[in-house]
Structure 1
Amino acid sequence: MTADYIVRADLARGELTRSYGADIPPEARTAIADALDLIVAGQPAPVPGQPGYWLTGAHRARALIVTLEAGRRPDADPLLTVAVCLRSRDSARLWATLHKGQPALLTRGDDPPATPWMAERIEAGAPLHMDAMRWSGSLARAVAWAWMEYHG
């Protein structure tokens, strides 16, 4: 699957923008692809270049959901959840999952963007790790583009 851009949804702000693959350095994609191998295998993955931070997640077909965490479970602080959806048949379910039990979001749980899309949802631990929040958006975009390439 190839696309010029991925729709990027910031659920807390209710904003939709575009993320272009050309903006993600190849080395970032490669590093995240290695982490995705672990996530697909059901294992947590260390965030490349960020000691003490981990990605945990799950996938179904071409839909991915990962959470950036500070520390290791069971004591980890969740910081940011990133979802990536590459095909429309997975879109409504994944979008609704992101919104379930999240009344403060400024996007509607029944109105996903056109695929391919990625979404970012800030989690409860974010205020405790503002240093990580400075780079988490770049990480989220790298995850999305690496997942897109993962499915070629």
Structure 2
Amino acid sequence: MSENQVNNPKRHAPGSENKKIEMKRLKYSGLAYHNRSNKDIAAKKAPSFEVFCKCKYECRKLPYEQKIFLFEDYYKIANHVKQKSYLLGLIQIGSVKRSHGKYESAEQSRRQATAWYTVPNGNGQHVKHFQTFLPYYTRQCKF
């Protein structure tokens, strides 16, 4: 018996670990892959030219070239842990703007902070956004 078989109580078919690693690599790179049940999962699509977000933030002001750059930059990372830290770096935390309950102190509320999703606009500034980039960045991102 090899050392790998002794330490690992699960049994795997020969070569199955390589397929699993390859599927993860393709998935986190935004490329097409087959999942465990052998279904075809399409590759992630680059952002469209039109802005479908109707929010009050400045999503419309972000140039299309910057959207493509951010999309390619995110999927160039190709590592789930690093991608999550990349997204966490784009989140800004602020104080709660509105409270919806009659609390004596703010600590009694479950909501302790407000989060904004931001992206760099290419000029050294960050633009707030909400719905514009979430479909491109997230697959199953749970923080």
Answer whether TM exceeds 0.5 for this pair: no
**Structure of greater relative contact order (alpha carbons < 8 Å, 6+ residues apart):** 1
| Greater gyration radius | 2
TM-score w.r.t. structure 2 length?
A: 0.32
